[in-house]
């Protein structure tokens, strides 16, 4: 069965082969959900973003910038039962689709706030152990969400050992620039890899001044976490260790 509906000039909802997707311009997939397992992560980039568990296995507060179809908020809500999940989304039309994607109602552990994430974070209203930046529109990554100042405000909003996770397009000509900004803000504590099954690049930046990358310990932690999460966390460790196998220039 194939179904497609235009929601506004930039958003399309499609249903094909048991997968519901939110798309930009009727083509580029923004988010996807398996109807038979709506809390799973259908896309490789969202699976790879969960690699933050290697840095913060049991976060108390997770802040997500960009709702889309809610894949990451739903997964965190279901599989991190001790965590409080807050999502910032500027587009009310996207929020209006929450029930199309089985996104939970707001409660004491889960909330969606319609707001400008730049305003929210730069004015000191955010506190989190993990911040996930996954906010795109039909024109790509908004420039205000990739400035050095914004990254610095995200760092200040993080707890002492918190981690910032960013989804970037691997074909973005400014990819190198973004990563260099992050390295300056986080004093070099930045690692990145290509996402599973896509050209997206996922970046992890640690706020822990004493964090040292120990690949053996990280593989052991990944193995333990895989007992709780249906994720290839060991594969993420290997990707991070290998680094990008192509030029970022």
In angstroms, the Cα distances linking 212 to 36, 60, 182 are 40, 22, 17
The verdict on residue 22 lying in a domain is no
Separation CA 83–CA 109 (nearest Å): 7
Give the range of the structural domain holding residue 122, as residue numbers without chain letter.
39-242
Count the domains in the chain.
1
The verdict on residue 10 lying in a domain is no
**Is the pLDDT confidence value at 117 over 80?**
yes
Question: Out of 36, 58, 93, 134, which one is annotated catalytic?
Answer: 134
Biggest CA-to-CA distance, the chain:
52
Whole-structure pTM value: 0.92
Write the pLDDT tens digit of every residue in 201-212.
Answer: 999 999 999 999
Write the pLDDT tens digit of every residue in 222-249.
Answer: 999 999 999 999 999 999 998 754 444 4
The CATH number given to whatever domain includes residue 237 is: 3.40.50.150
> Does residue 8 have an active-site annotation?
no
């Amino acid at each position: 069965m194939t179904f497609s509906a235009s929601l506004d000039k930039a958003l399309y909802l499609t249903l094909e082969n048991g997968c519901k997707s939110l798309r930009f311009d009727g083509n580029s997939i923004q988010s996807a959900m398996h109807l038979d397992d709506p809390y799973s992560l259908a896309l490789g980039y969202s699976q790879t973003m969960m690699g933050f568990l290697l840095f913060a296995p049991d976060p108390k507060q997770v802040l997500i910038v960009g709702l889309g179809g809610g894949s990451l908020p739903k997964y965190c809500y279901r599989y991190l039962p001790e965590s409080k999940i807050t999502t910032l989304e500027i587009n009310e039309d996207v929020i209006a689709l929450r029930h199309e994607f089985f996104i939970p109602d707001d409660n004491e552990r889960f909330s969606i706030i319609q707001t400008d994430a730049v305003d929210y974070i730069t004015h000191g209203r955010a506190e989190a152990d993990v911040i996930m930046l996954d906010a795109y529109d039909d024109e790509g990554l908004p420039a205000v969400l990739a400035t050095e100042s914004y990254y610095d405000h995200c760092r200040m909003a993080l707890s002492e050992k918190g981690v910032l996770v960013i989804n970037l397009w691997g074909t973005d000509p400014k990819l190198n620039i973004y990563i260099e900004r992050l390295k300056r803000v986080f004093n070099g504590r930045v690692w990145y890899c290509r996402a599973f099954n896509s050209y997206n690049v996922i970046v992890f930046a640690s706020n822990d001044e004493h964090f040292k990358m120990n690949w053996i310990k990280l593989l052991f932690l990944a193995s333990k976490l895989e007992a709780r999460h249906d994720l290839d966390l060991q594969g993420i460790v290997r990707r991070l260790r290998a680094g990008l196998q192509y030029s970022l220039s």
